[in-house]
């Protein structure tokens, strides 16, 4: 299973080291499977050796490299979700008709387009976007910590898949719980159109890159 080497466990291993015989310690360090005791220490030693297995002629170690790659991909996935939420917020504000109280929808033969929404619907939608933003940031922080603290390579890959599964739960709940007629209307609705903003430095790209690099370095 996944082992986290906190202070308590390190103290316990140090206690074992001071009490175990030389033969027992030598058997653990050399991966001697004939040992009748200290099996936990033996498996832990194997996990550490696998995690720090050298690669590329000894210049890099497998575990730290894979951990950084997985955290980078995970943070990039969350950054994409955050950018989509920002784009949605901008599109909603641009689409708001401040003097109306109803939603303007143009119904076509095969699709429908939303041309305007009232301020009350804007407030509700921004509240939903805010909740999604908080959830995404929480997943980014605690998901990255969870991945970094994973000490086994197989568990690291499985945990990354589990986190990516969590990000798809909203779509799965939508597909499972929403009536078919609503899903059909949603599928026929055209994406929100966002007017081009004045040219500024690519702040979104800069912030996204800084976020990924910060998590990678930390």
Q: What is the pLDDT of residue 3?
A: 54
Diameter over CA atoms, the chain: 84
Say if residue 149 is exposed, middle or buried (CB neighbours under 10 Å; 0-12, 13-18, 19+).
middle
What mean pLDDT do residues 12-20 have? 80
Residue 162 · residue 15 · CB < 8 Å: no
Domain ranges of the chain: 7-52, 62-217
Question: Tell me: the pLDDT tens digits for 159-216?
Answer: 888 888 888 888 888 888 888 888 888 888 888 777 766 655 566 677 777 777 776 6
- Pick 6 or 76 by higher pLDDT: 76
Q: Tokens 């401040």 sit at which residue?
A: 98
C-beta separation of 16 from 41 below 8 A: yes
When pLDDT is cut at 50, 70 and 90, the band that residue 34 belongs to is confident
Quote the pLDDT of residue 217: 66
Quote the pLDDT of residue 133. 93
Query: pLDDT tens-digit profile of 81-136?
Result: 988 898 889 889 988 988 888 888 888 778 888 888 899 999 999 999 999 999 99
**1 pLDDT above the threshold of 50:** no
Q: Are 97 and 197 in contact (CB under 8 A)?
A: no
- The answer to which of 6-15, 21-30, 209-218 has the lowest mean pLDDT is 209-218
| Residue 107: its H or E element | strand 104-107
Q: What percent of the chain is modeled with pLDDT above 70?
A: 88
Q: What is the pLDDT of residue 199?
A: 57
d(CA 60, CA 62): 7
Cα–Cα dist 52/3, whole Å? 15
- Dump pLDDT digits (tens) for 38-73: 766 777 777 777 777 787 777 778 878 888 888 888
Q: Which tokens hold the place of 195?
A: 């007017």
- Cα 89 from Cα 47, distance rounded (Å): 46
């Amino acid at each position: 299973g996944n082992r986290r080497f906190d202070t308590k466990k390190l103290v316990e291993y140090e206690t074992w080291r001071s009490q175990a015989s030389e033969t027992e310690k030598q058997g653990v360090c050399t991966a001697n499977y004939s040992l009748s005791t200290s099996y936990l220490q033996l498996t832990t030693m194997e996990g550490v050796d696998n995690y720090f297995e050298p690669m590329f002629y000894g210049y890099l170690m497998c575990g730290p490299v894979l951990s950084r790659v997985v955290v980078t991909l995970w943070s990039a996935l969350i950054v994409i979700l955050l950018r989509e939420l920002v784009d949605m917020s901008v599109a909603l504000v641009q689409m708001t008709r401040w003097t109306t109280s109803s939603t303007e929808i143009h119904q076509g033969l095969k699709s429908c387009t939303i041309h305007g929404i009232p301020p009350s619907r804007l407030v509700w939608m921004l509240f939903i976007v805010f909740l999604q933003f908080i959830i995404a940031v929480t997943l980014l922080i605690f998901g990255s910590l969870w991945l970094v603290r994973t000490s086994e390579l197989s568990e690291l890959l499985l945990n990354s898949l589990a986190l990516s599964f969590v990000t798809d739960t909203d779509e799965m709940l939508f597909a499972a719980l929403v009536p078919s007629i609503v899903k059909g209307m949603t599928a026929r609705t055209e994406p929100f159109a966002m007017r081009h903003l004045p040219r500024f430095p690519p702040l979104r790209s800069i912030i996204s890159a800084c976020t990924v690099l910060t998590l990678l370095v930390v």
